[in-house]
Amino acid sequence: MYNEKVMEHFNNPRNVGEMENPTAVGESGNFKCGDKMLIYIDVENDVIQEIKFQTFGCAAAIATSSILTEMVKGKTLEEAMQVTNKDIAESLGGLPPVKMHCSNLAADALHDAIKKYRESE
């Protein structure tokens, strides 16, 4: 069902865990499937210096969270806001159609964190 890259990020997720003193925390979830994501960011000079995640969900949800953190670490907030669910799925080499909603959660949680950061400035 999942390709090798998805399984690699599921079995060995990057940047997983809670961040102490994040600049902002974004969250998203899908009550239908039960997945929930928290994205922690540390921002300095409008650049994501550090990013971590906590995901409660399926292999695809964990893999999309993991690859998202690699995709946006070191990027400006503006660049990170441009990342879409499609970009995340493509970075993993694709997801089964029934799991595409998982990549939506990752992008949504990131965008929520950035929005909260901007509102707190």
- Told to judge if 58 belongs to the known catalytic residues of this protein, a careful annotator would answer no
Query: What is the DSSP secondary structure assignment for residue 94, as one 8-state letter?
Result: -
Cα 17 from chain centroid (whole Å): 12
Alpha-carbon distance of 73 to 75, in angstroms, equals: 6
Q: Which of 25, 102, 107, 110 is catalytic?
A: 102
Contacts of 18 (CB under 8 A, 6+ apart): 38, 40, 52, 54
Q: Which of 33, 58, 81, 100 is catalytic?
A: 33
CA-CA distances (angstroms) from residue 13 to 60, 112, 118, 121?
Answer: 11, 21, 28, 31
- Told to judge if 102 belongs to the known catalytic residues of this protein, a careful annotator would answer yes
| Residues labelled catalytic | 33, 102
